[in-house]
A and B are shown apart, each in its own frame.
Chain A
Amino acid sequence: MSGDADNPAPAGGNAGQVWFRAIGVRHGEIWIAAVLAAAGLVFGWQALLLDFGTLALPGPGFIPLVLSLATIALGGIIGVREWLRADSGETVELGHRDVLIVFAAMLAVPLLFEPLGAYVTLGLFGAVLLVLVARSSLVIAVVSAVAAMAACWYFFQVALGLQLPVGDVLERIVR
């Protein structure tokens, strides 16, 4: 006898696909190769500021410069190869609604983590994701976020002794 355990997620559904943007594989590959080569260029410029030493006795700038040049060369090869390749019409879809929301919310976390404190920031983060990605009601999201933060506080702060930031704002209020 076997029963079925259905997982109604990963979330997204058709609503998420509205935000999708199909990027041609060839174009995407060229862009990524260009970005990697540009990163190599920037690191190479930084490496040039260091002592190169000699080939026999390398200085601190030797390896970074060699690796930067390798990154530029490999990025160039990938980019040129893709440029010369005939477009197959293949696409990669980027920009799913939920992906964008989660990523945007994650970008806010390091910004707010120390000024607002770990628990307030992560509580807000959790609540936002529950409302926008899990599509739960605001009340359920807030209650869940508060409960999750209480559990985190107990586990990390009390049980493990980790001192997470309480936030400048809260600290000022307490003082």
Chain B
Amino acid sequence: MTGFDQVVNGFAIALSWQGLLYCFIGCLWGTVVGVLPGLGPLAGMTLLLPLTFHQPPEIGIIMLTGIFYGAMYGGSTTSILVRIPGEAASRGGRAGPALMVAAVGSFVGGTVSIVGLMLITPPLAKVMIAIGPSVQVVLLLLALSVIAVVSAGSRLKTTIMMVLGLLLTAIGLDHLDGVPRLTFGNTTLAGGLSFTSLAIGLFGISEILINLEKTELIKAIQPKFRDLIPRMKDVRDAAPAIGRASVIGFIFGIIPGVSHVVSTFVSYAVEKRFSRHPEEFGHGAIAGVAGPETANNAVTGTAMIPLLALGIPSIPATALLLSALTIHGVQPGPLLLTDHPEVFWSLVASMYIGNVILLILNLPLVGIFVNLLRIPYSWLVPIILIVSVIGVYSVAFSAADIWLMVISGGAGYVLRKFGYEMAPLLLAFVLGDRLEENLRLALTMSGGSYATFADHASLIVLTSVLGLLLAVQALAWVFGYRKSVADEAEGA
């Protein structure tokens, strides 16, 4: 099958009734979990994970990815109608146009990032296909280092969370020797800890427990469709902001850990700097909404590049996609495009379709989604928890996974209260297996020489990726991103 045939085949899958249906379900559910406080893409994806078990991998991944970017759209709706980080368009009486601008910006940003995903992933995968275990180790260590460096919270706490994640992934059978490790003689632990249970516990359950403490009433504006139409001045202000933010989101999407949060803050700072009326920022400036919301959605496609080309998830949501693909017997990474081109191309095609679906869903139907905010949170809690329990149990049909979810939820609640971030732990947990396997493999292949990690190919990869990341990080600092964004990074 030629490259063109693969693209056509991908679009045919995405446009089949199954592809369209699951893309729609993903986008709809994503919007719902994005709108509802206390849920996010990760919890949303985990809850519907069992729905993919009886579907081909390409259909399952279309739905899960739909939830991922749908939640970004839904989050924009809530942030505009309830509150906006750093912005107050709703208070300025401009919630309707802000919503329209955010939806269009999200569409443009999302589309730009999909084009990037489509153009960058195949050649990158081709380069990566030739790399050996030593370069993989360098890349994985680099990804973990970047997470530690860009983390907004305490670096020491981030590092200990990562080390803990790596330690937890060592529980179970050793992949190379088949020896049970850190199991305390318990046969249930021999299979290792379930990623899904850990993810739902650390993110979903802890978030619910934290939200239960909040007693303030949530007030949301409910605009009518005609309120959404922006004025000519809004369009003039928003258009360049959307363009700039698409590029910012696209570039920052590659940073592991907190890409969407960094891109949002950088975009806001950039727009404020470019604005002729920076004093309006914080009082309903439309560019202050267009920029961050566009950037927030522009990272979605780029965040998929490390996952699909390298097999390295950069944020917890893509870590769940990796886990889901693995359950289906598909290994993301350089070989994905060779072994399962239909998964990649149908995903790309579905993202284009999903962006259109979301634009349609989020504008005329915004009133319906806002109504979700009327449901008392105390009624949502049992529903979310029941579905979480069933979702977690159904992965391996083991009550031990429910235990893990509950315990990690309690631990996550306490740790988050004291400023520990959960994303580094989870990403390290996902990457740990491969890191150890490749480290030991590389050392075995080189006869125990650590010089293998400093060979020509490793150094090229190390230098180029490090240079790129340093440049991106420097940009972020120049534009004033330095603020505790740990809480906002959670759940993404």
Contacts and interface: CB of A to CB of B under 8 A. Distances in A.
Nearest to A57: B448
B160 A68 contact: no
Interface residues of B, number: 85
A12 B215 contact: yes
Interface in B50-82: 50-51, 53-54
Given A118-B390, A162-B50, A110 B219 contact: no
A129 B389 CA distance: 15
A6 B378 contact: no
A55 B436 CA distance: 13
A32 interface: yes
B449 interface: yes
Contacts of B219: 4-7
Contacts of A1: 224, 227
A133 B217 contact: no
B374 interface: yes
A90 to B, nearest CB: 11
Most buried by A among B159, B208, B212, B394: B212
Contacts of A29: 418
Contacts of A52: none
A9 B54 contact: no
Contacts of B38: 10
Contacts of A13: 215
Interface string A77-104: 1100100000000001110101100110
B182 A46 contact: yes
B406 A67 contact: no
Interface of A: 1-14, 16-17, 25, 28-29, 32, 36, 39-40, 43, 46-47, 50-51, 54-64, 67-68, 70-71, 74-75, 77-78, 81, 92-94, 96, 98-99, 102-103, 106-107, 109-110, 113-114, 118, 122, 125-126, 129-130, 133-135, 148, 152, 156, 160-164
Contacts of B413: 99, 103
Interface string B208-220: 1101111101111
Given A71-B160, A160-B54, 9 more contacts: A10-B211, A28-B418, A43-B167, A58-B439, A61-B181, A102-B209, A103-B409, A125-B382, A160-B50
A-B complex: 3 closest residue pairs judged by Cβ atoms? A56-B448, A11-B378, A9-B377
25 contacts: A7-B375, A7-B377, A8-B217, A10-B37, A10-B215, A16-B212, A32-B414, A32-B418, A36-B164, A46-B183, A47-B182, A56-B443, A56-B449, A56-B450, A57-B443, A60-B177, A62-B440, A63-B439, A102-B208, A103-B406, A109-B389, A114-B399, A129-B385, A134-B379, A162-B50
A135 to B, nearest CB: 7
A148 B177 CA distance: 46
B221 interface: yes
A139 B213 CA distance: 26
A74 B184 contact: no
A58 B399 CA distance: 34
Given A5-B374, A46-B181, A61-B181, A93 B205 contact: no
Contacts of A11: 212, 376-378, 381
Given A54-B448, A77-B156, A96-B213, A110 B374 contact: no
A99 B390 contact: no
A148 B386 contact: yes
B95 interface: yes
Contacts of B415: 32
Contacts of A107: 406
A162 B49 CA distance: 12
Contacts of A102: 208-209, 212, 381, 385
A43 B163 CA distance: 12
B32 interface: no
B232 interface: no
Q: What DSSP secondary structure best describes chain A's contact surface?
A: helix
A106 B370 CA distance: 29
A133 B167 contact: no
B177 A7 contact: no
Contact of A133 (B177, B212, B393, B418): B212
A129 B444 contact: no
B130 interface: no
A32 B419 CA distance: 11
A60 B179 CA distance: 7
A77 B101 CA distance: 48
Nearest to A62: B440
B396 interface: no
Contact of B163 (A16, A74, A99): A74
B1 interface: no
Nearest to B413: A99
Nearest to B402: A110
A5 B184 CA distance: 52
A40 B161 CA distance: 12
A60 B217 contact: no
Contacts of B223: 2
Contacts of B182: 43, 46-47, 64
B212 A96 contact: yes
B174 interface: yes
B390 A156 contact: yes
Contacts of A74: 156, 159-160, 163
A5 B371 contact: yes
Nearest to A20: B213
B213 A99 contact: yes
B163 A106 contact: no
